[in-house]
Amino acid sequence: MSTARPDTNGNDKPSGPRSRKGVETRARLVTAAKEIFERDGFLDARISDIAEKAGLSHGSFYHYFESKEEVFREVVAEVDERLSAPMTNIILDPKSSLSPFDRIQEAMRVHLEAYRDEARIMGVIEQVSRFDPDVAATRFERQLLGLEEVANSIRSLQRHGIIDQRLDPTITAAALGSMTRRFPEAWLVEKIIDDDFDDVLEQFTFIFARALGLDVSERDLPRSHEAGSAASSKS
Which three-class secondary structure state does DSSP give residue 90?
helix
The answer to whether residue 230 is domain-embedded is no
Mean pLDDT confidence for 117-140? 94
Per-residue model confidence (pLDDT) at position 72: 97
Q: Are residues 155 and 40 in the same domain?
A: no
Host H or E run for residue 110:
helix 100-117
The CATH number of the domain where 119 resides is what?
1.10.357.10
Report which DSSP code applies to 185: I
Amino acid found at 146: G
pLDDT at 123 over 70: yes
Instruction: Dump pLDDT digits (tens) for 206-232.
Output: 999 999 998 877 666 676 555 444 444
Distance CA 26, CA 204 (A): 37
Mean pLDDT confidence for 168-190? 94
Q: Are residues 156 and 45 in the same domain?
A: no
Contact between residue 171 and residue 211 where contact means Cβ atoms under 8 Å apart: no
Distance CA 5, CA 12 (A): 10
Contact between residue 87 and residue 114 where contact means Cβ atoms under 8 Å apart: no
Per-residue model confidence (pLDDT) at position 219: 64
Backbone angles phi, psi at 164, to 5 degrees: -55, 120
Q: Are residues 76 and 150 in the same domain?
A: yes
Q: Are residues 158 and 187 in the same domain?
A: yes
Mean pLDDT across the chain: 86
Q: How far is CA 102 from the centre of its chain?
A: 20
Alpha-carbon dihedral sign for residues 100, 104, 107, 109:
negative
Amino acid found at 232: S
The answer to whether residue 164 is domain-embedded is yes
Q: Are residues 83 and 129 in the same domain?
A: yes
Distance CA 120, CA 34 (A): 10
Q: Are residues 110 and 205 in the same domain?
A: yes
Instruction: Dump pLDDT digits (tens) for 19-73.
Output: 888 899 999 999 999 999 999 999 999 999 999 999 999 999 999 999 999 999 9
Q: How many domains does the structure of the chain reveal?
A: 2
Mean pLDDT confidence for 128-152? 91
pTM assigned to the model: 0.79
Q: Are residues 52 and 112 in the same domain?
A: no
pLDDT at 11 over 60: no
The CATH number of the domain where 45 resides is what?
1.10.10.60
What is the distance between the terminal CA atoms of the chain, rounded to a whole angstrom?
Answer: 63
pLDDT at 166 over 90: yes
Residue 93 banded pLDDT, cuts 50, 70, 90? confident
**Structural Rg of the chain based on CA atoms:** 22
Report which DSSP code applies to 195: -
The residue range of the domain holding 40 is: 20-64
- Structure-model confidence comparison of residues 95 and 203, the more confident one: 203
Last residue of a domain, one of 44, 64, 84: 64
